[in-house]
Amino acid sequence: MTIEAGQSLTGQPTSARQAGARRPLGELGRAALGRAGRAALLATGRPPVPDALEPLVRVHREHHPQADLGLLARAYRLAEASHRGQKRKSGEPYITHPLAVTMILAQLGAGTTTLVASLLHDTVEDTELTLEQVGEGFGPEVAYLVDGVTKLEKVDFGAAAEAETFRKMLVATGDDVRVMVVKLADRLHNMRTIRHMKPASQVRIAKVTRDVLIPLAERLGIQVLKAELEDIVFATLHPEEHARTRALMAGHEGEPDALLEPFARQLARQLAETGVTAEVTVRPRHCVSLHRVLLKRAAAPGPDGRPQGPQPADFGRLLVVVEENADCYAVLGELHTCWTPLPGEFKDFVAAPKFNLYQSLHTAVALGGGEVVEVLVRTRRMHAVAETGVVALGDPEPAGAVQDADELDRTDPARPGWLSRLLEWQQETPDPDAFWSALTADLAGDREITVVTEDGETLQLRAGATCVDAAYLLGEETGHRCIGARVNGRLTALSTVLQDGDLLAVLTETAPTPAGPAGSAPAGAGAPAAEPSGPAPEWLAHARTPAARLAIERWLADHPARLPVVRTGPSSGQPAPAAQRRPERRPAPVAVAGHPGAPVRLARCCTPVPPDEVAGYPIRGGAVAVHRTGCPAGERMREAGRAELEVRWQPQGAPAAGHRATLRAEALNRPRLLADLTAAISAEGVGIVSAEVEPPQELRVRHTYTVELPEPAVLPALMRAMLRVSGVYDVSRPHAPEGGGARDPGGNGDDQPAPGVRPSWGIHGRSAAFTGHRSPGGTRGPEG
């Protein structure tokens, strides 16, 4: 029955016709009956609403029986008066658009405040009405929602208007998620009427909807809205494929269902016999969902090796709606008992809801004929949230309000975690183009994963995220100092893609040690870095989240690339450092017993340095090759029959090119490792003759340096300085003896090694990030 607008009547007769004698009901005309019905309704005291709102009111009262219809009526009258005379591209009066958007929201079950804001959502943008007037007439809550969806003017923002408008909406959504709900309903109606736009505009709008609005609808859990948007975008951007898919759907709908409906009836009988109250229905797939299934079928060859065609079970799934959470698992038990479940198809989103609050049990069973049917099981509450997402949770509660909730209900009406993270990184992106690119990239992932750190912290990451993303999620400083990661107990590369449920430890380099009094460095410190080595440009290829990418790009912009400096001697025209100056004439490094004046060559394979124990072997030309005792090359010469000559180090003796030593550093591969190692070597006043870096293997890398020592006594301090570099866990001298028996290079005069030095082999240890754990090289450090 139509309720016309007008003043409320008191029920008293206002005309002679109304006050006249009552006639029998059959004698009353149609007009009189209409007037009598209106008078009866108005006599109840309920405020009248315009005729255009009648369908909207009926739908709204199904969800909110006590809704304030007077508020809706006032909002409609103001919107209709403000938009009067305006037309849409279709030629319809403009007021039809806010009415249609509001009807969409009413069907979703949105509250009265949201519907009022929807009726007024274009008034501030397209009419003379101001936001202050909206606030005065309907309150600050409605004004905030209207302001949130109001577009920014191109006159003020130019080409950046669209990106900045979405930024503004997202920020407003962070305080009230209903802003984005209204925007999604607005876009849905615009997509329904997109045929009236120019072809170029259709493509542009459809692409923005695909890249931004549909992912936002997915994250807010509004599946009914998302599905329709997907189908319209599919028809706009891929009309031919859409037409083929629709033809398949129409052909299937025209034939009797010989698979899903009989199975639904059979399952319903089985559940009734076991005493489980459930509603079993066939849930048809929408166009895009069916198209995705068909693509998978075409990509997977059948038993005959040819691409598979559509199967009857591809056109829909079974939906089982029960009353209690425990009933979900009872239904699952009956399904897996009476039919054969497919391994790997079971997913429990009841115990672990998806990031958009979705809860259901997913499984697939094989029927007698070999057909596979997918089944969804959920409660009524879960079904409401699965269909309408955050709208089903109701309007935000006032601060301090306490809601009664089912203890087993895992839905969280609080602000979604993905939205909080999005709001964090958008503040660091002032450039509209960079913001738009980062937004579309962040929304590209359609699901999230959960990773647990070894400290027990839970990290929510988008699917496809790597260890780099996890490091920066723990904090920007942690990301900058990251040098490696351990996933499920094993060292792994930073580019490793994380999986749901992984156990993660982010390994970081040692934080810089603060300077002592008067800025002096701590005792024993070589040259601690003032800042972390930072990320490498290659990390950008592994970063999947905008927060990580923006932090890396900001670091690289603030720290221009610094190439490692390998010192090979004093530069031309510059005097050598004091530590590197040597007398022009010095005696031979070693004296050979019985061969005075014989030329001596220090072997390059083991690079002996005083006071290493050494042995000499005659070679061509009457020269003597000097090897460290136990060097494999020297042992082979002795086994080949060459006489072992007694040699001893000469005091103040040195080879013409100075004492050279070969050092091998085992480390975790990380950016700027070469630069930091060469800087540590140079800081000790040691020149580098050559450097070799082997390809990384399982995150570990080996650096080999041949250095020129100003004095042999510098060697132990140099090895300790290299070990202090972050990520280095072992420094050794290659081709050294496996056991003891060699004097240490520190020259302390006995057979015991210098403190912290392993005899004749090297220094072993770890950076602080590995304290208490087995080093990758298999050795234990000083703490072990």
Q: CA-to-CA distance for 486 and 489, rounded, in angstroms?
A: 6
- The closest alpha carbon to 699, from 505, 546, 532, belongs to 505
* Angle at the Cα of 497 from the Cα atoms of 491 and 502, rounded to 5 degrees: 65
CB-CB contact of 764 with 730 (8 Å): yes
Q: CA-to-CA distance for 194 and 95, rounded, in angstroms?
A: 17
b/e 441-469 (16+ beta carbons within 10 angstroms → b): bbbebeebbebebeeeeebbbbeebbbbb
Cross-strand pairs, 375: 318, 363
Q: What amino acid occupies position 664?
A: R
DSSP 475: -
Which residues are identified as catalytic? 125-126
Tokens found for residue 45: 């005291």
Phi, psi of 325, rounded to the nearest 5 degrees: -60, -40
- The closest alpha carbon to 738, from 716, 767, 759, belongs to 759
CB-CB contact of 569 with 576 (8 Å): yes
* Angle at the Cα of 355 from the Cα atoms of 317 and 442, rounded to 5 degrees: 105
Q: How many CA atoms lie within 13 A of 197 on its CB side?
A: 14
Residue 736, burial from CB neighbour count under 10 angstroms (0-12, 13-18, 19+): buried
Q: CA-to-CA distance for 666 and 659, rounded, in angstroms?
A: 23
Write down the H helix ranges in 254-356: 260-273, 287-299, 325-338
Tokens found for residue 652: 């103040």
Q: CA-to-CA distance for 469 and 479, rounded, in angstroms?
A: 8
Give the other-Cβ count within 10 Å of 519's Cβ.
Answer: 7
Tokens found for residue 571: 């530069």
Q: CA-to-CA distance for 32 and 30, rounded, in angstroms?
A: 5
Q: CA-to-CA distance for 550 and 453, rounded, in angstroms?
A: 23
Q: What amino acid occupies position 572?
A: S
Q: CA-to-CA distance for 98 and 118, rounded, in angstroms?
A: 6
Going from the C-alpha of 221 to that of each of 75, 88, 325, 657, 688, the distances in angstroms are 28, 30, 20, 73, 61
Spell out where 640-699 has E strands: 647-649, 659-668, 687-693
3-class SS at 127?
coil
Write down the H helix ranges in 632-778: 632-639, 673-683, 714-723
Which residues have a Cβ under 8 Å from the Cβ of 497 and sit 6 or more positions away?
A: 464, 465, 466
Q: CA-to-CA distance for 99 and 107, rounded, in angstroms?
A: 12
Phi, psi of 276, rounded to the nearest 5 degrees: -95, 120
Q: Which helix (H) or strand (E) holds 418?
A: helix 417-426
Cis, peptide link before residue 611, omega less than 30° from 0: yes
